[in-house]
Amino acid sequence: MTRPALPSAPDDLLAIPAEQMPDTMRGLIRNKALTPLMARIHRDLRSEDPALRQQGSLALRHMGFPE
């Protein structure tokens, strides 16, 4: 059985069910993929586009980080 691809963008992350987030976070850390994803989320949070800022904020909350 193959594992789903790790998220690389906030919208990928938001598509993952909450109950799968702990395993997803472990996979991101194990594969050194968390830092690039966090950089993308933080870039979106600083965007002039309100939709990107909203998506970045939702992604952080979905990962379990407080606002």
Higher-pLDDT residue of 62, 3:
62
Averaged confidence pLDDT in the chain: 93
pLDDT at 66: 83
Helix 34-45 vs helix 50-63: angle between axes, to the nearest 10 degrees?
140
pLDDT at 58: 96
Angle at 33 (CA atoms; ends 48, 58), nearest 5 degrees: 40
Output the six-digit token pair for 57.
């904020």
Distance CA 34, CA 29 (A): 6
What confidence tens digit (pLDDT) does each residue in 17-40 have? 999 999 999 999 999 999 999 999
Higher-pLDDT residue of 2, 37:
37
Indicate the domain borders of the chain.
Answer: 37-67
